[in-house]
A and B are shown apart, each in its own frame.
Chain A
Amino acid sequence: MNYFLIFPYVELLLAASLSLVFFKNIRLQSIFSFVFSSLFVFSSALILFKVKNEGIQVLQVASWPSPYGITLVADLASALLLLATSIVYWAINLYSVSYIDEERKSKGYYIFANLIVLGAVGVFLTGDIFNLYVSFEILLLSSFALLTLGRSPEEIRQAIPYVSMNLVSSLAFLIGIGLIYGHTGNLNMAYLSSLLRNSEWTYGMRTASVFLFFAFAMKSAMFPLFFWLPRSYAAVPAGITALFSCLLTKVGVYSFLRVFTLIFPIVRDPYLQGIFYYCALLTMLIGVLGALAQSSLKRILSVHIMSQVGYMLWGLCLFSPLALAATIFFMIHNMIVKANLLLISGVIEKSEETRELLSLGSFFKQQKLFSFLFFLSALSLSGLPPLSGFFAKLFLLRAGVEFEDWLGVGMAASVSLMTLVSMNKIWNEIFLKEKEQVLSLKLSKAGLISIVVLSLSSLVFAFYSGPIFKIFLKAGESLFYTNDYVTAVLGENL
């Protein structure tokens, strides 16, 4: 039995519940969160190590055999994402010691931060689709709470569309699950995969796939359904935005990756694939155009998230082992770099108490090291050569060229140029522009460590991208050829 698969759940749940017990003692809560998030990093590294060496790891909870019991599964894709999540969460935890205000902490910031990561872990490790739904709800409910912790009119105003759109998408998800259960009598993903692999889809299953498509599209902020994202992300402090950007949309993309490779392989439904393809390209384009139009630091960064989601969805739509591997690589690169940029923007915001680009300036002259850290991440996000973003985009483009999908390749390349323009806008306004007043950068040690750790992990990604990408290629293969997953979960006999 692979009991270590349950470790991440236990650690995060312990951190959240101990924070609830010591609700008045914020210092103790931060210590708990730090200790358990460090343990979380180790246990996800352990899971990745085991999966890499011994293949897909499966835990049948309480020894109920699959497909009747609850199954936890870790394959390479989910283990890699788990490790990236744990590293980013560790850094954000460290960062929030000095950059999340006391008021939010006293209202239970640490509880909800742990629970939102717990929801993401549930999504990554679950083996059946109903638990996917339950984990989503844990994630969403804690994100609602984090969004409204400050209870300012602005936050509440932005929370209403966010909450209502996500409730609708959850209900669509639930209806999809109901239809799947009605047609197959089971909700285990591996079982559904083996059941549907050789049979024609009935109308009921097609309807179910469309419902799931709608639900995931809304959660991952795909083109026509992204309206909840930019404003609600910009309304909260940068630490929480970094947590959101690393978890919410990426979890939506992961569900796409899991469900639309395993249960409903997207290539089997050319009509849905066509919709998916054009929506992905438009997400890319509109995200970056939206970012170009913004004039506040955090707005630019949060609107950019959508553009990046477009890349990931395009990668899934191409549907080959290389494209899927590149998608996961892109997701992890993006989690790290985007979180880092948002943390840096939080530091700037805290020191200058404004988000508007026009009122900032002269950072480069006065803060060389800090500016360099931003420079590194910004170039990595727009995909310049020696950095991780370059390799992420390179692998994706290579997959696109293999399919001779010139429209997609052209779009991806030009969007990445526009990303560079919008990063340039930040750089010119905040760092290069001359300004009279003396800056007082409030960069605490914990904040500096978290930013440096994230920058370093992005650099490791860049300099060892060759060997690392081999692991990702295996992950892409295991997503593409679902046999391994199905036999690992169900055993040989089914």
Chain B
Amino acid sequence: MNFYLSILVVFFVTAGIYCLLQAHLLRMIVGFILLSNAANLILFVAGGLGSRVAPIVDNNSKVLDVTAMDPVPQALILTAIVIGFGMLSFFVVLCRDQFQKTAQDDLKVESFE
């Protein structure tokens, strides 16, 4: 599972950076979505995906079962998703403003004027 997810991360990062370098508003937005998902997946893989036991202490024992999933990466990802979403929505609004003011979504074209 870890291996396949790592391949997915590589794919996301490559595609994300490729989209960003196009300097084209819509593609930049897509690039950011891909890149932020890649970062979240890395946090996820870092926590280890081997276990399927929920990290809940049952009534009979006092400490967490050693086979349980690490809950911290999930909390980290949750925070990162919220922050990434906020950033992305700001960026989308910014792109909309830029598009409305120049009627041009290619950043390279505008810089020649």
Contact = CB atoms under 8 A, between A and B. Distances in A.
Given A148-B94, A168-B20, A185-B70, A174 B43 contact: yes
Given A168-B35, A171-B36, A178-B39, A153 B87 contact: no
A141 interface: yes
Interface stretch (A35-43, A155-163, A293-301, A385-393): A155-163
Interface string A352-383: 00000000000000000000000000000000
B42 A137 contact: no
Assign chain B's interface to a size class. 20 to 34
B15 interface: no
A168 B48 CA distance: 25
A130 B75 CA distance: 11
Contacts of A130: 76, 79
A208 to B, nearest CB: 10
Interface residues of A, number: 28
Given A137-B83, A174-B80, A179 B42 contact: yes
Given A137-B83, A163-B94, A179-B46, A171 B35 contact: yes
B65 interface: no
Contact of B83 (A134, A168, A177): A134
Interface in B63-113: 70, 72-73, 76, 79-80, 83, 86-87, 90-91, 94-95, 97-98, 101-102, 107, 110
A163 B20 contact: no
Nearest to A138: B83
A226 interface: no
Nearest to A208: B46
A362 B72 CA distance: 63
A167 interface: yes
A9 interface: no
A170 interface: yes
A434 B70 CA distance: 71
A175 B42 contact: yes
Contacts of A410: none
Contacts of B47: 181-182
A160 B39 contact: no
Contacts of B36: 171
B43 A177 contact: yes
Nearest to B91: A163
A106 interface: no
Interface of B: 20, 25, 28, 32, 35-36, 38-40, 42-43, 45-48, 70, 72-73, 76, 79-80, 83, 86-87, 90-91, 94-95, 97-98, 101-102, 107, 110
16 contacts: A137-B83, A137-B87, A141-B90, A144-B90, A151-B97, A160-B95, A160-B107, A163-B91, A167-B32, A167-B91, A174-B40, A175-B42, A177-B43, A181-B47, A182-B46, A182-B47
